[in-house]
Each structure stands twice: as C-alpha cells, then as structure tokens.
C-alpha cells in the first residue's frame, strides 16, 4: 500500500509493515537523499522482528511484542527535547524504541526537530500499531529530563555539553555578582571616607 503519493510507503502485504521517510517538498538538504534511500523500519510478524535500516552500518533487529519476549519493542517514542548552550538553543528529535518497561531498546539518530519533521512526520509511524507497537510523542525541557525518563536516550557527549554550557553560564553569573558586590563595597568605602 502506498500513501501520500509515491514517496511515502507503508507496505502492508502478508502482515509486513514497512515505514519509510517522506520525501519533502522542494529542494532536498544535504543528508536527506541518503536518508530517503537507506532509512526503513520494517515490522515482520511472520519472523517476529522489527528491523531498522539506515541507522549505522548494519541493520538493527528487535523482537516484536507478539514474541512475548521481555525485550520486545512495544513503543516507538518520538522524543523531542530543548537544548541550550548560550548563545544557541534549539530542539532535537529522536526516535526511541522502548520495551514494555519503557526501557530503551534502541534509538535512531538525534536530528534537528524542524528538519526531522520534513522526513519523519509523526503520522508516518502509525502503521506500526498493526504490529502491536504503540506510537507516542514526548516533549522534554532539557536533555537531562529526557535522559532521566529514558536512560541512555541522550548520550554522554550531549549531556556533558549541556553541563559545560550551564557551568559557563553559572560562572558568568557568579562573576557578575562578585563584580557588583565589590563595586558596592568600593562605593560604600569611598562614601564613608569622604
């Protein structure tokens, strides 16, 4: 079955569900042709597998809920978090594959949120519900909030960058406060001696 023109596919033949990114309108951006060509998420109830292609060199294979395995992917979580490293800020989107305990079983690449919507609108993942996988969208105020909700979802580098940015901001605030305090003391001393 092809929907949304010839560029969005969700094949449902023999129980097989295939999800591919949508070709956006207009000119493609630098990495989009590769994503469109390589990225695919396939649920195959016959083999009991969910296969993710285009996220790394090799296909990643996960069990489906029908297998009854504890590590089966039961949820595709479309997680978005806000990041801020002064003077920049933005939103990052990441597809998370969660097991029945909401533990991270796997994840797609972290992508810029507005750009990700061009290829991966939320409704794209709805056909996975036929394979027993629910689809949810979650928003987080910080990378740490996402990491707290789904350990391993953000990655150490991003968290370290966030913490360095917060420490730098806190250091600047502390320096400003100390400067103001010294200025007030200097003015008080000057007024007291004159």
Could you read off the pLDDT of 102-157 as tens digits, one per residue? 999 999 999 999 999 999 999 999 999 999 999 999 999 999 999 999 999 987 54
Count CB neighbours of 10 within 10 A. Answer: 19
3-state class (DSSP) for residue 145: helix
Between the CA of residue 124 and those of 5, 78, 81, 116, 177, what are the distances in Å? 13, 11, 20, 12, 50
Residue 189's pLDDT is 78
DSSP single-letter state for residue 129? G
The residues pairing with 135 across neighbouring beta strands, listed in sequence order, are 76
Residue 6: pLDDT over 70: no
Residue range 41-57: mean pLDDT, rounded: 95
Q: How confident is the model at residue 1 (pLDDT cuts 50, 70, 90)?
A: very low
* Residue position matching structure tokens 């490293």: 85
**Could you tell me the pTM of the whole model?**
0.74
Q: Contact, 73 vs 106, CB < 8 A? A: yes
């Amino acid at each position: 079955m092809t929907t949304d023109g010839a560029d969005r596919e969700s094949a449902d033949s023999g129980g097989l569900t295939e999800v591919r990114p949508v070709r956006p309108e207009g000119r493609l951006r630098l990495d989009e042709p590769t994503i469109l060509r390589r990225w695919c998420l396939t649920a195959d109830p016959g083999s009991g597998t969910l296969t993710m292609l285009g996220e790394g060199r090799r296909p990643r294979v996960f069990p489906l809920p029908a297998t009854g395995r504890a590590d089966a992917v039961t949820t595709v979580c479309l997680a978005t978090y806000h990041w801020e490293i002064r003077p920049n800020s933005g939103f990052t989107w990441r597809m998370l594959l969660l097991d029945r305990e909401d533990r991270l079983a796997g994840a797609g690449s972290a992508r810029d949120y507005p750009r990700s919507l061009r290829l991966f609108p939320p409704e794209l993942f709805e056909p996975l519900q036929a394979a027993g996988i629910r689809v949810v969208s979650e928003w987080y105020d910080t990378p740490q909030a996402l990491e707290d909700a789904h350990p391993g979802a953000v990655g150490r580098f991003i968290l370290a960058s966030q913490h360095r940015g917060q420490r730098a901001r806190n250091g600047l605030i502390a320096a400003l406060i100390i400067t103001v305090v010294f200025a007030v003391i200097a003015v008080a001393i000057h007024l007291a001696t004159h």
